[in-house]
Each structure stands twice: as structure tokens, then as C-alpha cells.
Amino acid sequence: MLSPIALAYAAPFAVVMLVYIGMRRRSESASVSLLEESVEAGLTEPASLHPLIDETRCLGCGACARACPEGTVLGVIAGKAHLVEAANCIGHGACKAACPFDAITLVFGTEKRGVDIPEVGPDFQTNVPGLFIAGELGGMGLVRNAIMQGQQAVDAITAEAKQRRHPQRDLLIVGAGPAGMAAGLAARKHGLRFAVVEQESFGGTVAHFPRGKIVMTQPVELPLAGRMSFREVSKEALLEFWYAILQRFPLPISYGERVDNIAAVPGGFEIRTTHGVHGAATVLLAIGRRGTPRKLGVPGEDQSKVVYRLVDPSQYRDKRVLVVGGGDSALEAAAEIASEPGTTVTMSYRGDAFGRAKPKNRKRVDALVASGAIDLQLGSKVLEVGVDDVTISAKGQRMVIGNDAIVVCAGGLLPTQFLRDIGINVETKYGTA
């Protein structure tokens, strides 16, 4: 029989355990429901980088689920962690860092969906010595990741460049997005001789976001500039913040300059661009994965009314607009255009569900579809673009829709051929690290 002292300790312990067990059961029940909903909706494929859980190591502590910034992507079921809302995983990697049992590996692609990834080592160096890749091009999206990789790559480049001693410069950075900006700041901090070339405008992918788009990020340290504390910020506010940094710490950026070829030469590289020839001991590619916009490949697509990104929704007021695509950019474009007075918006997506879009975007579009503001055509594709109409096939039925403008948000093509031409190995990954 237990002593009074033992009973005094046992009773509160039993209460705590009962509460804990109850909370675990409720959490597991919620995770099971989310997993079932994802399977039923066909939303089981993560977009790119995502966790692969080793159940032999996982003890079901739930640290990964608690660390995930997206909230309900991971859950514990039957004592093991599971990816319950795979489509919402955007590759933060916080789950891996939080796992105390080293049960999580971050992988690209799945058995069904391959992802092209250039060969990059832990120091961000490719299989071509002296040629580095950072940011989205290497499969790691997100502003925070790009910034961290840009400066980490330059940390590795600093030693490499000084060994090569190229007469013109130590480093040429290609791209002025988050990774390129961070790399430039790090290069300035390290006292490197460097330059940045950018084929478009400052800001990379962020600069191409629609007006007013909220950018999700996490706090991160910028070289020289200090801490960037945003978690949610508008496109315009983020760009303004970055421009203010460039005013304080100017970088030698050449805009409107596209790189056509990179060739290894004694002491480094010869980089041919639309402006001439550069020489550098090392090169950092921070060009993102947008590449060339993915086109429809149909008759009439060459008309000026067809564009491949949304900049200003107000230009579509009182117009009949078709939005093509099923990712976040397509859903955001359709929602913003549908909010403009007098618009008639149709969405065309080849899939049966928006498996690559964030929940809040799916909910917003669902509400607009329910209200009649958007005519959603799932399982459809564009057949032909006319002067004042567009022909689509929807579930076997041919439809001709009156049309004034088409916004294609089908993603970009990775510059695979360019990478291979300059000697970088590109591998299609099917669920591999």
C-alpha cells in the first residue's frame, strides 16, 4: 500500500498524465482527419523540398510538428510523425533542425513528381570548381533560405577566390534577388573584388509578385545591414526595405545584363554577357528558378493579350480574363483580378485540385467561386487563343469563351540546358536528399 507521501505525489502525476494523454489523442485525431482530407482531395504531393521521416528513429515526440511554421503540415499518428498536409509544405526545414533523434531527412521530389536539381556540395560549390549556386536555383526557395545561402556561399568563396588570384575580380554574382543581394553584402564585408549582373530588375522573384502581395518570411541576419525581422510583409514594403539597405551599402550592380555563357579559363572564368566579357576567379549563380516562363504551346499564344505574370490587377477592370494555372501565383492572380470592378474571371487548371497552393489561397478562391466571381474549370486545358475569345477543353467538352486577356501562371522552366552547357550536372530527384 502506498504511503501518504507517495499518494500525495501520485495523484497530481496521474492528473497530469491523464491530461497529457487526452491532448495527445485529440492531436492525433486532428492529424488523422487532416491526412484523410488531403488524400480525399488528392493533395498528397509536396511541391519540392520536404521531410522524409525514418520511422525506425522517430519516437513521436512531436517536436517537428511544433517547429513547422506552417502549423499543421506534420502530425503524430500512432506514435510516429507523418506528413499530413503534404501540399502545404514549402521546405522550411525547421522540422529537421528540431528533431532530437535525427529521424528527418530533407528530400527533393517524390516517386511521382521529379524535381531537377543542379549538383551542389555543402559549400554551395557545383561539380565545376569555382562555380557556386545559392538560393532558389538549387531547390531551396524562401527569402530567408536564399539570404542565408547567399552569405554562406560567399563565406566559402572567399577562401577559394583568394587562392586563384584572378587579375580582374574575385567574384561575379549573377542575379540580384535575395540570395544575390546577401552575397553582395557578404562580399563587401569580406573585402572581395566583385560585381553583380542582373538581367532584369532588383529583387528577383519578389519583384515579379503582384502589387500588394504578402511575402512570408522569417527573421534573418543580413551581412553589414543587421537583422531583417519581418514574418509577413507586403512586396512593396520588402523591396523598399532592401532598397534602403542598398543606399547604406551600395553594391556594384549592372541591370539589364544577361549572362549567355560561362567558360573556365586559367585562373577562373570568362563570363560572356549581353554587355561584354567579364573575368572572375569565382562565379555565384543566384538566378532563381523562374527561368523562361512555361508557355501553353497553342495557336494564337503570341498575341499581346497573353502575359505570364500579374503586375497590376487594375489594368483588367471591365475585362474578360482567363487565368491559367493551379499554383499560388495563379490563385492569387485570379483572386486579385476578380476583386476589380466589372471583371469576368475564368480559371483553367489541368489538375482536379489545387495541390500546390497554400490553404489561405485555396479558401479565398473557393469563396470567390461560390459567389460566382470566378468560373473555375478544373481538368481543363487551353486549345487555342482567338482575337476576342479563347477555346478550352474541359472534361472532354470543347468551350469557346469570350476573352480580352489571358494571364498564364504555369511556372518557369529551369535553365537546365544553360546549366549543362556550362558543365554543371543536373539530376532529376525522385524523393532523394
pLDDT digits (tens, 9 = 90+) for 245-290: 999 999 999 999 999 999 999 889 999 999 999 999 999 999 876 6
Over range 14-43, report the average pLDDT. 69
pLDDT at 135: 83
- What is the domain-level CATH number for residue 243? 3.50.50.60
Cell of 217: 518570411
How many whole angstroms separate alpha carbon 251 and alpha carbon 222? Answer: 14
What domain count does the chain have?
3
CA dihedral sign of residues 199, 200, 203, 209: negative
Same domain, 126 and 102: no
Dihedral through CA 155, CA 156, CA 160, CA 166, nearest 10? -50
pLDDT at 12 over 70: no
Mean pLDDT, rounded, for 15-24: 60
Res 7 pLDDT > 60: no
pLDDT digits (tens, 9 = 90+) for 375-398: 999 999 999 999 999 999 988 889
**For residue 21, what is the domain's CATH number?**
3.30.70.20
> Last residue of a domain, which of 95, 113, 131?
113
**Cα–Cα dist 4/9, whole Å:** 9
> Has residue 339 been placed in a domain?
yes
User: 270 pairs with which residues across the strands?
Assistant: 263, 279
Based on the domain organization, do 172 and 67 belong to the same domain? no
205 and 91 in a single domain? The answer is no
Identify the pLDDT of residue 15: 59
Q: Give me the pLDDT at residue 24, please.
A: 65
Indicate the range of 54-63, 388-397, 424-433 predicted with least confidence: 424-433
**How far, in Å, CA of 423 to CA of 131, rounded?**
10
Rounded Cα distance between 6 and 3, Å, is 5
**Spatial CA neighbour of 190 closest among 232, 229, 159, 236:** 159
Asked whether residue 174 falls in the same domain as residue 211, the answer is: yes
Mean predicted confidence (pLDDT) in 351-377: 87
Contact 163, 192 (CB under 8 A): no
Higher pLDDT, 22 or 118: 118
| pLDDT at position 13 | 59
Domain that holds residue 316: 300-411
